[in-house]
Amino acid sequence: MLDTIAYRQFETLAKAALPNWQIAQRHNLDHFEKTGFPVRISSLGETRQLIDTMQEDGFEKYRDDLGGLGPKDLELLVGACADLVGFQLIHYPDQTPIVPLDTAMAMLCAWKRIRALKPSFRTLLEVGPGCGYLGLFAAGHGPLTNYSSVESCESFYLLQHYINIFAFGPGFRQMIYPQFRSSHFTAQERGASKVTAPAAAGRRAFHYPWWRLRALYEAEVEFDLVVCNANLLEFNPEALRDYLELFKAKLSPEGMIFVQSFGYESEEKNKAYLFDLLHEHGLAPLFITLGSLPKDREYWADKTRGECAFIRSKDPRLFASDYAVLVTESHPRFSDCHDPGNYKNAFALDTPELAGFFEPPEQGARDYSRAELAEAVARRLEQGGA
């Protein structure tokens, strides 16, 4: 079982094996600690504080970004929230469950864009999963063969661990454990027959701490998609460079990096700083939007390269967050978008994968309220939906 004691023991052993102390310092969570976020926790019960965090008050803006919820989106969102209430009933049975609408809605928005970029993707790497809810959506994606995630925050790591077990069951492998086998001997074992269970097959989800990034680097998998969730500006500069090089090494030739929010921006680490690093490391934008920009075609008319017919006129919606889609030198459209002038407030390349950012609302979509969705979750639970 993974708990705070085990996490810290494995982290201590890993730090002791490092050739210098600066490597561990690269992964310090300076911004989290300055704001008082519970990076370290004393018990697993404290993970309940994280059930609906980092997207506080985001429900309405993400709902409006989508143009409301149609039947399919409603089904996905209510199903995810019912699962998360069920998760809480198992892990925090003495507490009243929270319906995490803010975080779940943000992840629904991310999931729809991910599916639009590569509908039949098979491999997905998520860096900084936060509450871990994208894994709930990925677990139901039929073609998925490998969902890998990396986290540097202890409290989030522990929550993600149990969310992944809940979502993937025996298909989940926790990568924090040292790779060793016992070499013990006891007299009682001489000549005794051993009964062992078969090795678990069908592993689809893999969870890595920061000190096992080399294991991820050496894993025999290329990723169709890399997802960065509100963190690129929050990495220490050295760690950011490490991750950018990791993305280049592990992304498939036509793979893409999807960014939903660049993270907290400071005077030292702002978007200009980030764009310079992206350009330097050979990561080019197919698409960038910074903050609550309009989706209307008239706004985008002078910000596109190519026709971009998927952008509609008189679309009243605003984007809920920063978004970006990045590619490496191996992508066939890299040369079309690596110009430094494309790293800016709004840019879109004429490529059909971006249609999901501008697609019209699903037929029958409407603006469900928080209360309506909470009632729908309750009905789902009454029907045995979690």
Task: Read off the pLDDT of residues 194-227 as tens digits, 9 standing for 90 and up.
Answer: 666 665 568 999 999 999 999 999 999 999 999 9
Non-local (6+) Cβ contacts of 203 within 8 A are 171, 172, 173
Rounded to an integer, what distance in angstroms lies between the CA atom of residue 10 and that of residue 95? 30
Rounded mean pLDDT of the chain?
A: 94
**Nearest residue to 211 (alpha-carbon basis) of 3, 5, 4, 9:** 9
- Cα→Cα distances 53→47, 133, 257, 332, Å: 11, 11, 24, 38
Q: What is the pLDDT of residue 194?
A: 64
Rounded to an integer, what distance in angstroms lies between the CA atom of residue 180 and that of residue 203? 19
Q: Is this model's pTM higher than 0.85 or not?
A: yes
> Is 30:236 a contact under the CB 8 Å cutoff?
yes
Segment 348-366 shows an average pLDDT of: 96
Q: What is the pLDDT of residue 300?
A: 97
Q: In this predicted model, what pLDDT tens digit does every residue of 64-90 receive, in sequence order?
A: 999 999 999 999 999 999 999 999 999
Q: What is the pLDDT of residue 225?
A: 98
What superfamily would CATH give domain 29-58+101-177+201-362? Vaccinia Virus protein VP39 (3.40.50.150)
At CA 303, angle to CA 299 and CA 309, rounded to 5? Answer: 75
